[in-house]
Amino acid sequence: MRDIPVGDATEQVVDWMRENLAAFFDAISAVMLWCVDIILQALTAPHPLVVTAAAAALALWARGIGLAVFTIAGMLLIQGMQLWTQAMESLAVVIVASILAVGVGIPAGIWAARNRAANHFLRPVLDLMQTLPAFVYLIPAVFFFGIGLVPGVVATFIFAIPPAVRLTELGIRQVDKEMVEAAAAFGATPNQTLRQVQLPLAIPSIMAGLNQVIMMSLSMVVIAGLVGAGGLGSVVVTGISRLDIGVGFEGGLAVVFLAMYLDRVTGAFPRERSRRRTRRAPAGTPAPAPEPAADPEPVAAPAKTPA
pLDDT of residue 221: 83
Q: For the chain, list residues with pLDDT below 50.
A: 272, 274, 278, 280-307
Q: Kindly list the distances between the CA atom of residue 299 and the CA atoms of 79, 199, 295, 302, 306, in Å, as whole numbers in the listed order.
A: 78, 59, 12, 9, 21
Cβ atoms of residues 174 and 202 within 8 Å: yes
Give residue-wise pLDDT tens across range 54-94: 999 999 988 889 889 999 999 999 999 999 999 999 999 99
Report d(CA 285, CA 18) in Å as an integer. 61
pLDDT of residue 270: 58
pLDDT of residue 299: 42
Report d(CA 250, CA 83) in Å as an integer. 8
pLDDT of residue 285: 44
Cβ atoms of residues 249 and 243 within 8 Å: no
> What's 28-46+84-273's CATH class?
mainly alpha
Q: What angle do CA 105, 109, 115 make, to 5 degrees?
A: 145
Name every residue whose Cβ is closer than 8 Å to that of residue 174 and which is 6 or more positions away in sequence.
Answer: 202, 205
Domain boundaries, the chain: 28-46+84-273
pLDDT of residue 300: 43
Report d(CA 198, CA 180) in Å as an integer. 8
Query: What number of residues does the chain have?
Result: 307
Cβ atoms of residues 236 and 252 within 8 Å: yes
Give residue-wise pLDDT tens across range 10-45: 778 888 888 888 888 888 889 888 999 999 999 998
